[in-house]
Amino acid sequence: MGNPQPFQPGRDFAVALDRGDPLGRFRDEFHIPRSDNGEEEIYFAGNSLGLLPKRTPKYVDEELEKWKRLAVKAHFSGENPWMPYHELLAEPMAKLVGASASASISEVVTMNSLTVNLHLMMTSFYRTTRERYRILLEDHAFPSDDYAIESQAIVHGFDPAETIVRLRPGKGKHSIETADVAQVLEREGESIALVLLPGVQYYTGQAFEIEAITRLAHGKGCVVGFDLAHAAGNLVLRLHEWNVDFAVWCTYKYLNSGPGSVGGCFVHERHGMQHDLPRLAGWWGHDKKSRFRMEPGFRPIPGAEGWQLSNPPILSLAAIRASLDVFMEAGGMEPLREKSVRLTAYLEWLLQREIGDSVEILTPADPRRRGCQLSFRVKAHSSGSGRTVFEKLEASGVTCDWREPDVIRVAPVPLYNRYEEVHRFVEILRNAL
């Protein structure tokens, strides 16, 4: 992963980087929100809600039109019938997360939402014995993961306080090292049934070493799942090759598919072929050939599709399809990640150079240990609290994100953000301070 520094401080340098950016044209694929004064915002909140691709309304309209013209018949006729519509998403989605999606079995499926999929996965993969029943989680996990795990422990009849093993960064550190994971697994691995970690930690922006952690956890006999909410569409992922057991993610952040859009789910091929795995079932996961015989006796579709419950919301899938097409046209994650590494390194470099005394960056400096997001604190000795600084940023046309108690998160996204915006952002922040 090349990082062709050195950078230069002036605005001209940023403009030159934009001019030389082979992905620069993709900004025009998106609607950029505008401030009250009519100017385009500096939108660094793609880690919360990605922007609307301009082509999305057309994709959604096509489905509305089919509903209008064909109604129920659109399930089976017309272009892209609704019955197998979700299959259209399998290949591009699989490419984005490094999964396989052959005609006979797909490791990915687009269904439900992240937390629902997490529960479905835990129903199948959180299998307990008297000796092995604990779940390894990071201490600052996204609350939905925390609640999901706590409730799973209770459903299994365990005390969550004793069941959940919480990973914390070492003293004085913000990030959890792979060595910290190894240490806990060495000490307690025999009692751990499931390791559930994020691909990218939502608060600090730290990327976990998915491959190494998976290997370590498997070495101790644990099942490994990842919450990729902040990693899908942000990092290059190779879920199949890394042997991850399962993963779940949402599509409304870096995957630009709209508020509350349908989530993604990965089940490794070796599990997808195991038809006798306990699972919560529904008719959409049933063998496609015999689904409409409406007979009792569930027979799962091989692969991740076999975990589907209901027929999916086509309008949301259409928006995901539109977004995935943009990703594929941009060449997939590799070129995007290459730009992302540089864009974020430039942001970090400018922050350190211009206001290094006033901010503390929580995100690791090593590009392999982070995605596009940087999280920082405004240091106590500088003028104004972090919250005031954040409000000034907002008033100056910057959309980023405030996380209690004191963290500002900024995520320059390679598909639609520019180097010049990074430059302007640091100037605005310096003035705000």
For the segment 314-353, give every residue that binds ligand PLP (CB under 6 A): none
Rounded CA gap, 50 and 43, in Å? Answer: 9
- Shortest distance (Å) from residue 410 CB to ligand PLP: 16
- Shortest distance (Å) from residue 264 CB to ligand PLP: 10
For residue 73, the SS3 value is: helix
Could you give the maximum distance between any two Cα atoms of the chain, in Å? 70
For the segment 27-56, give every residue that binds ligand PLP (CB under 6 A): none
* Closer residue to ligand PLP (CB): 74 or 231: 231
Q: How many CB atoms lie within 10 A of CB 180?
A: 16
Rounded CA gap, 118 and 394, in Å? Answer: 34
Encoded one letter per residue, x for contact with ligand PLP by CB under 6 A and - for no contact, window 142-161 reads x-xx----------------
Q: Quote the strand ranges of 250-393, DSSP E.
A: 264-267, 359-361, 374-378
Give the torsion sign (CA, 9, 14, 16, 20). positive
With contacts defined by CB under 6 A, name the span among 140-148, 210-218, 282-290, 316-324 that binds ligand PLP.
140-148
Rounded CA gap, 264 and 244, in Å? Answer: 15
* Closer residue to ligand PLP (CB): 114 or 164: 114
* Closer residue to ligand PLP (CB): 202 or 284: 202
Residue 115 within binding range of ligand PLP, rule CB under 6 A? yes
* Closer residue to ligand PLP (CB): 113 or 191: 113
With contacts defined by CB under 6 A, name the span among 34-42, 137-145, 283-291, 296-304 that binds ligand PLP.
137-145
User: What does the block give as tokens for 396?
Assistant: 């100056």
Chain-centre distance for alpha carbon 163: 26
Residue 113 within binding range of ligand PLP, rule CB under 6 A? yes
Q: Quote the strand ranges of 268-339, DSSP E.
A: none
What DSSP letter does each residue of 4-52 carry, written as one string?
A: -PPP--SHHHHHHHHHT-TTGGGGGGBPPPB-TTSPBPEE-BTTTSPPP
* Closer residue to ligand PLP (CB): 195 or 351: 195
For the segment 223-262, give every residue that binds ligand PLP (CB under 6 A): 227, 229-230, 250
Kindly tell me which residue out of 114, 232, 314, 318 binds ligand PLP, with binding defined by CB under 6 A.
114
* Closer residue to ligand PLP (CB): 47 or 344: 47
* Closer residue to ligand PLP (CB): 35 or 113: 113
* Closer residue to ligand PLP (CB): 111 or 267: 111
- Shortest distance (Å) from residue 117 CB to ligand PLP: 8
For the segment 181-200, give every residue that binds ligand PLP (CB under 6 A): 198
User: What does the block give as tokens for 224?
Assistant: 């490994």
Say if residues 117 and 265 touch (Cβ distance below 8 Å): yes
Q: How many CB atoms lie within 10 A of CB 357?
A: 11
With contacts defined by CB under 6 A, name the span among 29-37, 56-64, 111-119, 294-302 that binds ligand PLP.
111-119
* Closer residue to ligand PLP (CB): 113 or 352: 113
The distance in angstroms from the start CA to the end CA of the chain is: 33
Rounded CA gap, 122 and 159, in Å? Answer: 17
User: What does the block give as tokens for 196?
Assistant: 């559930």
User: What does the block give as tokens for 151?
Assistant: 């409730």
Q: Quote the strand ranges of 73-229, DSSP E.
A: 108-110, 134-138, 164-167, 192-198, 223-227
- Shortest distance (Å) from residue 235 CB to ligand PLP: 14
DSSP bridge pairs for 403: 407
- Shortest distance (Å) from residue 227 CB to ligand PLP: 5
- Shortest distance (Å) from residue 114 CB to ligand PLP: 4
Which residue number is nearest to ligand PLP in terms of Cβ?
115
Residue 376 within binding range of ligand PLP, rule CB under 6 A? no
* Closer residue to ligand PLP (CB): 145 or 348: 145
The residues of the shown chain that bind ligand PLP, judged by CB under 6 A, are 113-115, 142, 144-145, 198, 202, 227, 229-230, 250, 263
